[in-house]
Amino acid sequence: MSHIPLTVLSEDEQLFRESCRGFAEEHIKPLVHKMDEAAKLEHSLIPELFNLGLMGIHIPEKFGGSEGSFFMSVLAVEEISRVDASFGVFVDVQNTLVNNAVLRWATEDQKKRYLTKLARDTVGAYALSEASSGSDAFALSCRAVDQGDHFVLNGRKMWITNAVEAGVFIVFATLNPADGYKGITAFLVERDFSGFTVGKKEDKLGIRASSTCELILEDCKVPKQNVLGEPGKGYKIAIETLNEGRIGIGAQMVGIAQGSWEAGAAYAKERKAFGKPISEFQGIQFQIAETATQIEAARLMVYNAARLKDAGKDFLKEAAMAKYFSSMVAEHVTSTVVEIFGGYGYTRDYPAEKFFRDSKIGKIYEGTSNMQLQTIAKYLLR
C-alpha cells in the first residue's frame, strides 16, 4: 500500500467519496423524513446500492465485488451517514462486519456461495447479541447441537441490525456452555432455513429506518458446511470482526456530526436576530468553530484506524479510541446544533432533532463507550 497522509485522499478515493455523496444527496436525502416517520428503509434504493458496488466494497472482483479497501468502506459509511444514519449503518454492517467476517474466515466454497450473493443482491446481518448478552458478549444462551451432518440451533438473538432485509445471517451459538468462550461457534444461516424466524422489530429513538429485530431459532437446521471458521472459534471471529466494525461505527458518527454541523452552519447564516444573521454573533461563531474542530479530530482518528487496518498493522487501540471519541463528538455536535436552531431545532420540521436522535446509538452498539475505555486502558497498561 502506498503511504497516503491522513488528510489526503488518493484520486480514486476522492472520486469514490464524491460518488457516494452524490448518490446520498440525490437519492437518499429526499426520502429521509419519510423513512424516519415510517421507521422503514426505502427498499427500492437497495438494488441501487448493490449496482453501485456499495454493498461489496472490498469483496474481490472474482466474487463480483469492487475489490476496494477497507478505508473506502469507511468513506462510504461516512458520506451516507452524513445524509441518513440508517442507510449508513445498513452499508456499514454489510461491509465491515458480514463481508469482512466471510472474507477472513470462510472456506473457499463458502466464499463462492456467499460472497457472490453478498456482492450481487443479498443483504447480510450479524447476530451476536442476546437479551442477557450485550457487553458480556459471550454469555450466550443460544445453543448448537451436533447432529452428524448438521447442527440444530435453539435460542433467540436481540437487536439484530438489517434483520428485515437480510438473506444471510452470521449467528453465534455455543456448543457447550461449560466450555465458556471456547464453545462459541459461528454459523452462516440463510433466511429460509427451517426453524429460523425474524421476530419483533424494535421501535427506536434514532436510526429508526434501520431494522433492528429479534431472531428466533427453534430447532433451526444448519448444514455442517455452514460453520464459519471452525467449531469453538466463534469468539475469535466475533472479537476480531467487531474490532474492525467499530471503525465503521466511528465513520457513521463522523457522518452524523458533519451532516448536523452543515445544517447548523447554514441555518446560522439565514436566521436573523437583532437585525443581523446569528452567525455574526461571537457566541455562535465559537460554537461553529469548536464543533468543526471536534469533527475533524474524530475524522482523523477514524481514518487513522482504517489506514492501519489496511496496512496490516495493529489497530485495536486506535479503533476503540476512534469509536469512543467520535460517538462523544457526534452527541455533542448534534446537541449544539439543536440549540443553534433554537425552538425550530426541537421540531421535526427541521433536520437538527433527527441528527441528535441518531447520534445516541454510537455510545451503545458494537461496544459501549465504557467497553471502549476498558479496551484502551488494557492496551495502554499491558
**Pairing outcome for strands 123-127 and 166-174:** parallel
Cβ neighbours, 10 Å, residue 257: 32
Contact, 80 vs 19, CB < 8 A?
no
Residues whose CB falls within 8 Å of the CB of residue 207, separated by 6 or more in sequence, listed in order: 85, 86, 89, 358, 361
Alpha helix (H) residue ranges in the chain: 11-23, 32-38, 46-51, 70-81, 85-92, 100-105, 108-110, 116-120, 234-270, 282-310, 316-341, 352-359, 369-381
Decide if 366 is catalytic: yes
**Is-contact 367 323, C-beta < 8 A?**
yes
- Provide the residue type at 264 as one letter: G
Three cell numbers, residue 179: 466450555
**Cβ-contact 217, 152 below 8 angstroms:** no
| DSSP conformational letter for 202 | P
CB 68 within 8 A of CB 59: no
Residue with cell 488518493: 10
Take residue 246 and report the three cell numbers written for it: 467499530
Q: How far is CA 356 from CA 33, 137, 327, 361, in A?
A: 14, 27, 11, 10
Residue 225 has phi, psi (to 5 degrees) of: -70, 0
- β-bridge partners, 217: 155, 196
In the block, which residue shows the cell 421540531? Answer: 347
Choosing from 78, 130, 214, 366, which is the catalytic residue?
366
DSSP structural state of residue 42: -
Joined grid coordinates for residue 283: 457566541
Residue 40: other Cβ atoms inside 10 A: 16
User: Annotated active-site positions, please?
Assistant: 366
